[in-house]
Structure 1
Amino acid sequence: MQHASPWLLAGLLGAWPLAPLAQAAAPMTLEERLAALEARASAAEMRASAAERQAQAIALELQRLKGERPDLSASSPAAQAATLAPALDARLAQVEARQEALEKLGRSETKNPSKLTDGFSFNGYARSGLLINEELSGGRGGPYVTPAGSVGGAVGRLGNEDDTYMRIDLSKEAYAQNGTRSKFTVSIADGVESSNDWTAEESSLNVRQAFAALDHIAAFKGNPMLENATLWAGKRYDRDTFDIHWLDSDVVYLAGTGGGIYDVQLGDNWRSNFSLMGRDYGDFSASGGDADVESYILTANQFFAEDRWQWMVNAIGSNKNESRSNAAGLTPAESGVHSMLAYHQKDFFGREGFFKTALLYGQGLGAEVKNLGSDGELLDDARALRLALYGQTPLARGWRIGPSLLAEQSRDRYVDGDDYRWLTLNLRLAKEISSNFEMVYEMSWQTMDLNPKGYRQRNAVDGDFWKLTVAPTFKPDMGDFFTRPELRVFASLMDWSSDLDNYSTSDAFGEEGFQAGGLWQFGVQMETWF
């Protein structure tokens, strides 16, 4: 079979209807739609300008293939093909009109985004479960259930949570014409211990975050120090906060309302975050006072060597804090300092996984070393030192291990001469059974020596707490501790020194059915994040 020449193919392609193409489904982004339309318009213009030449070429080629002499009469193929030119012109006009309409729509969408899904993201965390004691009554628990929990001493959370907690993060991004990206985020959280389906009366629904941020800032382009920086303002928790998941305890937690700048590049391997956040102390329980006592936290957070090393420095001030008394009737501090040195190891001592180490120190208002600036009852002489270790790695075929350690010593917190010492060791193990099922084990031990000197009617105690949990678990996939959701059933055995039952009349230890001597608790729980 004789093949048609390129001129014939070009002519046939040139005569292909354009209107259906112009009405094809639009790409996802406005920039891609406009680029595609511009390309179509350019191609149509080229076809229109060559239409007459192509029509003549078609006629000549058809005559040649038929072995006939060219017929250029009014009814010839050449004359008929020549009529394509006006049609192409009309179609080109349609394309141009459609392009102009889309450009107008694009300018409108930039100013007033009309599609909720453009730049929209939905993230969150949730857990919910049932905790039952050995007497088939409501269980008690929580990561801060022990006396040491009153000063931040967390214990293992697996098989030890009796609440429903959720947080959802909603974000909307948009790009300005100069390339600057803006992002608004709102986070809503709620936590209840009731097992009922309707818990409005017990709810603690709260807006945890409401802030806006700008990055890819056009005005910063070409400035090596600022071109990757992010500006933000509003209510939020710090982006680079990190925690020990097994204990449900942040290593350091910076949150409040204010503003700052992230990722200022001060050197080749040195980036910095700077922020100013405010918090309200409100009224102390032992005095009336004004409700406008605020603290301000000025933070410099430095990252070195590809973010392996982190050095955080915080200065905390609250000028009106000394005008009131804390719960012990003493004058609290009006300032404080805090610092953290952390190392984020990207492997587990040469093995797959990770390991994090942090040493924290604070004095005055900075002696609350985890929740920065959140405790307004601390004294000027308060001092605290905390050590945190945390990691995870594959242990053997089908096994994973996640050890952690959290320890703190603090003095002169709320009363001159008070002394709080505690240490928690935690180990989580997981054994894969099938592609969706694993056995999870957690062992926790905490030792404490607490002498509150009568603060809030608390008594000095010295003793240990331990917990063992077994949790058959279903999840979507294996191979990672942090794949969620997880659906668990569990059994936990807990015991502690009898002396700890005497710490306080307002905590769980020592209550009927929750006393030293050993007890079992059972339950089922869901946990997810995305």
Structure 2
Amino acid sequence: MIKPRILALAIGLALTAPSVSFAAPTLTSLEERLMAMEQRLQKAEDRAANAETRAETAEKKIVRLEAQSQQRQQQTAATSAAVNLPAPAAPVATASAGNFADGFEFHGYARSGLIMNDSAASTQSGPYLTPAGDTGGAVGRLGNENNTYVELNFEHKQQLANGATTRFKAMLADGQRDYNDWTGSTSELNIRQAFVELGNLPEFSGVFDHSTLWAGKRFDRDNFDIHWLDSDVVFLAGTGGGIYDVQWADGVKSNFSIYGRNFGDIEAIDNTIQNYIVTSNNFAGPFQLMISGLRAKDNDERLNVARENDNAGDTGVHAMLALHNDSFWGLREGTAKTALLYGRGLGAEVKGVGSDGNLTQQAETWRLASYGVTPLNKTWSFAPAVLAQTSSDRYAAGDSYRWATLNARLIQEINQNFALAWEGSYQYMDLDPQGYKDRQAVSGSFWKLTVAPTFKVADIGDFFTRPEIRLFASWMDWDSALDRYASDDSFGSSGFSSGGEWNFGVQMETWF
């Protein structure tokens, strides 16, 4: 049956249509056209209704997001008020682009493994296990570590609309020698770093144009080390503040800082000794000149009990001249670094600046470090190192500690996932403690050889790619005279004396 609306339209069209020579359209064809038109109108109405629905949904979402934003601001303001801090500005004024979470980074370092002797029993190990280790005499870490050590680094960086940058970093670290899965009772968990940097401040100009201010607890940015010896060349750390990258000229810049460290209590005064280190670290091209002054008031008043020294000094100086090569000592492709360090008084601990409060005022130390890494060909890489030190009047008048380490690591690529790592170390030491801590004068040599089948996921030829899983076998021996150096060190302990020792184990190491 024809709908009344369609019939009326058909009659109207029929009456108004002009007379033409061909046949007039039938009522059926007119009805079909009108029905098609109605369908198109209905589809247009449906599309309009859908658009209205989407608009309402979007409006509700905007209202919800605005409510959440206001709630977060109220929570932040409440938290800030609780700790007597000013509430932060609204998020719209904070960053030039992106959201708050975009600036978060997570980095880490870890090593962990199992070590045993050839009788499947516990053994002595560590890069500093020789008598020279007390004064920094490392002998190489490959196949010679039995600890679990973890660093977890959390950072937040942002760049503001005015170009300024901020960086916050916190490092959580733990060292552990227990093999158990639950080690809370022996954990050394602590916050090793927590600091803030402010960079590219728009009101800074001239030599301070691209400088960075910092304050907090941290490792100095320009420390460097011989990784495969597990020995820092220089390590400046503590709590303080400073400024990086004061640019005097193209390629010439300086850093200035003050760090504080604690030595312990003065029994008679019941006060904690605080050592202050003021440092100027200067760079010109590949050269680095670092100069530090140290002051620890009343440190010389400490009493001589156990490990403390009643001859300890209260001031000191420290200096380092370093060359950072972008080649293997100018001989071939690779990198190399060389440093000469000197310290007197409290500065005579030249590796860990300001970390030893038992040094005498007359203590004097010289230290030489030189090391490099180079690819020999497509399958072999080579990393040699020389580390030597001499100290006098270090803890007692007339004492001397002299040692030198020669070390080299070779890595042979077998395929993209497997390599063989070889390491050899030789150390000579001549130590005369003058009775300090009841230790004996000794001299002699130490040797260590290690082979470590190593598994990687890729980039075997890159010396510093990680993660790695290593199996290892290490053989070491030393002159028998070294066994009598001290009763509380590794050498001469039960089941660990000269004549040759084998260690076996497995270890992982990773960083990112």
**CA distance in structure 1 between the partners assigned to 2:63 and 2:293 by the alignment:** 56
Q: Does 1:375 align with 2:353?
A: no
- Cα deviations by residue, 1:340-398 (Å, 9 ceiling, x for unpaired): 00000001124221000000000000000000001111111100000001111011330
**CA distance in structure 2 between the partners assigned to 1:281 and 1:273 by the alignment:** 25
Task: Return the letter of the residue paired with 2:412.
Answer: K
**CA distance in structure 2 between the partners assigned to 1:239 and 1:265 by the alignment:** 16
Distance verdict in 2 for CA 1:224–1:502, change over 3 Å? same
- Alignment partner of 1:184: what SS? strand
Counterpart of 2:245 in structure 1 is 263
**CA distance in structure 1 between the partners assigned to 2:103 and 2:260 by the alignment:** 30
Q: Does 1:458 align with 2:439?
A: yes
Counterpart of 1:250 in structure 2 is 232
- Cα deviations by residue, 1:181-219 (Å, 9 ceiling, x for unpaired): 211111011011111100011111111001111112122
* Aligned residue among 313, 319, 329 for 2:291: 313
| 1:479 Cα deviation after fit | 1.6
- Alignment partner of 1:157: what SS? coil
Counterpart of 2:281 in structure 1 is 301
**CA distance in structure 2 between the partners assigned to 1:179 and 1:329 by the alignment:** 51
Counterpart of 1:415 in structure 2 is 396
Task: Return the letter of the residue paired with 1:243.
Answer: D
Counterpart of 1:520 in structure 2 is 502
**CA distance in structure 1 between the partners assigned to 2:331 and 2:437 by the alignment:** 47
Task: Return the letter of the residue paired with 1:241.
Answer: N
* Aligned residue among 257, 263, 272 for 1:275: 257
**CA distance in structure 1 between the partners assigned to 2:57 and 2:480 by the alignment:** 86
**CA distance in structure 1 between the partners assigned to 2:206 and 2:224 by the alignment:** 28
Task: Return the letter of the residue paired with 1:195.
Answer: Y
Trace 1:121-136 onto structure 2 (pairs within 5 A): 121-136=105-120
**CA distance in structure 2 between the partners assigned to 1:207 and 1:162 by the alignment:** 23
Identity of paired residues, percent?
Answer: 53
Q: Indicate conservation of the 8 Å contact 1:130/1:524, yes or no.
A: yes
Q: Give the superposed CA RMSD.
A: 3.0
Task: Return the letter of the residue paired with 1:344.
Answer: H
Q: Indicate conservation of the 8 Å contact 1:411/1:417, yes or no.
A: yes
* Aligned residue among 307, 310, 322 for 2:300: 322
* Aligned residue among 189, 192, 201 for 1:217: 201
- Cα deviations by residue, 1:287-322 (Å, 9 ceiling, x for unpaired): 6653411100000000111xx110000000011212
Distance verdict in 2 for CA 1:168–1:461, change over 3 Å? same
| 1:529 Cα deviation after fit | 0.6
| More moved, 124-133 vs 165-174 | 165-174
Structure 1 unmatched runs, 5+ = 1-80, 82-87
Q: Does 1:202 align with 2:183?
A: no
Distance verdict in 2 for CA 1:458–1:111, change over 3 Å? farther
Normalising to structure 1: TM-score of the pair?
0.78
**CA distance in structure 1 between the partners assigned to 2:422 and 2:218 by the alignment:** 34
Counterpart of 2:320 in structure 1 is 340
- Alignment partner of 1:185: what SS? strand
* Aligned residue among 461, 472, 475 for 1:479: 461
- Cα deviations by residue, 1:392-423 (Å, 9 ceiling, x for unpaired): 10113300000001000000011000000000
Q: Indicate conservation of the 8 Å contact 2:309/2:395, yes or no.
A: no
Q: Indicate conservation of the 8 Å contact 1:494/1:518, yes or no.
A: yes
Q: Does 1:137 align with 2:115?
A: no
Q: Which has the larger radius of gyration?
A: 2
Q: Indicate conservation of the 8 Å contact 1:325/1:332, yes or no.
A: no
- Cα deviations by residue, 1:469-505 (Å, 9 ceiling, x for unpaired): 0000001212211000000000000000101110110
| 1:458 Cα deviation after fit | 0.8
Distance verdict in 2 for CA 1:151–1:143, change over 3 Å? same
Count of aligned pairs between the two proteins: 443
| 1:176 Cα deviation after fit | 3.3
Trace 1:501-520 onto structure 2 (pairs within 5 A): 501-520=483-502
**CA distance in structure 2 between the partners assigned to 1:345 and 1:94 by the alignment:** 62
**CA distance in structure 2 between the partners assigned to 1:159 and 1:432 by the alignment:** 18
Structure 2 unmatched runs, 5+ = 1-43, 45-50, 71-88
Task: Return the letter of the residue paired with 2:505.
Answer: G
Counterpart of 2:132 in structure 1 is 148
Q: Indicate conservation of the 8 Å contact 2:302/2:308, yes or no.
A: no
* Aligned residue among 421, 425, 429 for 1:440: 421
| 1:332 Cα deviation after fit | 1.3
**CA distance in structure 2 between the partners assigned to 1:290 and 1:146 by the alignment:** 35
Task: Return the letter of the residue paired with 1:301.
Answer: N
Task: Return the letter of the residue paired with 2:177.
Answer: E
Counterpart of 2:48 in structure 1 is none
Q: Indicate conservation of the 8 Å contact 1:394/1:401, yes or no.
A: yes
Task: Return the letter of the residue paired with 1:414.
Answer: Y
**CA distance in structure 1 between the partners assigned to 2:456 and 2:269 by the alignment:** 51
Task: Return the letter of the residue paired with 2:435.
Answer: G
Trace 1:345-424 onto structure 2 (pairs within 5 A): 345-348=325-328, 349-424=330-405
**CA distance in structure 2 between the partners assigned to 1:206 and 1:111 by the alignment:** 35
Q: Indicate conservation of the 8 Å contact 2:378/2:461, yes or no.
A: no
Q: Indicate conservation of the 8 Å contact 1:209/1:236, yes or no.
A: yes
